[in-house]
Structure 1
Amino acid sequence: MGLASDQQPIPLQRCPGLVVVSDTPKGRGIFATKDIPAKTIIDVCPVLVLGLDENVKHIEHTSLYHYTYNWPIRDGNGDRKVAQAVVFGLGSMFNHSTQDQNVGWTRDDTRLLVTYRALRDIPAGEELCISYGGRLTFKDADRSDLPSDEDGIEQMNQIQLG
């Protein structure tokens, strides 16, 4: 089975020099084994958007739910809804940090991708962390006094990546 003539391939890439460490204080984490310059693409990850009904009836009752991202969709009436998406690749492995976030992410709603980039220089040995936004399902080890504004966090990431 080949590539259809009207399909444009999506290049997927991952930064070399990354490892998964299983026994960190936060559980599994992604760490740099070499210095990563600011704005480096860390990973480009495809996503699987879950149906609204599927998420409520099934996914919310499993451990998978803790690894999903909010994903904007339009329902049959064109109204904006928030679904959940499973992010493949490293996307679901990054731990959260409010104060030491060093990786930002952007959604590509059309191609169903998330791109992760270094927000600053990341030295070898440092854990790569993103912000999960303000609506956390756990106690934020960094800070607990942040506003609940996931869109604001994502916009901040996008501005810093610019």
Structure 2
Amino acid sequence: MGLASNKPPIPLKRCTGLVLVSDTPKGRGVFASENIPAKTIIDVCPVLVLGLDENVKHIEHTSLWHYTYNWPVRDGNGNRKVAQAIVFGLGSMFNHSTHDQNVGWVRDEECLIVTYQALRDILEGEELCISYGERLTFKDADSSVSPSTEDEIDELNQIQLD
């Protein structure tokens, strides 16, 4: 197989034993159909980063806006800004939990992927949940316990994933 890139290919992984359930109280959700051990890679998802103005001018006016992630980028002057990204794969199907999250996620800004990993053992029948950070587009049912910033959540996830 010929590769048209000088960069090494990125292995895409997905854990077996997952199902998508359409009619949960939170809408669609990803559930374990078998036990998943801690530190298991749940999914490696490619990302499409939107232009800095694209999200405001277009995406925020559609239902797709509820599925975008904050994504750090540099503007034309080299300043760090926050854009939005669409995560393909299961990444856009995980529901939010402020304090019962069992899946952590880490951005790879260079490879434009997000890796999701089990933070602890996940039991069969359990919903897989991540933290969305502070930019919620809905009323957070877990709002009584809330990390203060998305960066703190990223740091927590990074520590737990190592």
- Aligned counterparts of 2:35 and 2:104: Cα–Cα separation in 1: 17
Structure-to-structure mapping, 1:102-117, within 5 angstroms:
102-117=102-117
Aligned position for 1:72: 72
Report the secondary structure of 1:90's partner residue. Answer: helix
- Aligned counterparts of 1:4 and 1:138: Cα–Cα separation in 2: 42
Give a deviation string over 1:4-30, Cα, whole Å, max 9, x none: 262311100100010000000000000
Paired positions, count: 162
Aligned position for 1:28: 28
Deviation at 1:142, TM superposition (A): 1.7
For the pair 1:158 / 2:146, whether they are aligned, the reply is: no
Deviation at 1:140, TM superposition (A): 1.1
Counterpart residue type for residue 102 of structure 2: N
Deviation at 1:54, TM superposition (A): 1.1
| Runs of 4+, deviation exceeding 6 Å | none
- Aligned counterparts of 2:63 and 2:5: Cα–Cα separation in 1: 39
- Structure 2, unaligned runs of 5 or more: none
Deviation at 1:2, TM superposition (A): 3.5
Report the secondary structure of 1:52's partner residue. Answer: coil
- Structure 1, unaligned runs of 5 or more: none
Q: 1:73 to 1:5 in 2, by over 3 A?
A: closer
Aligned position for 1:123: 123
TM-score, with length taken from structure 1 = 0.96
Counterpart residue type for residue 157 of structure 2: N
TM-score, with length taken from structure 2 = 0.96
What is the aligned-residue RMSD (CA, Å)?
1.3
Greater displacement, 31-40 / 127-136: 127-136
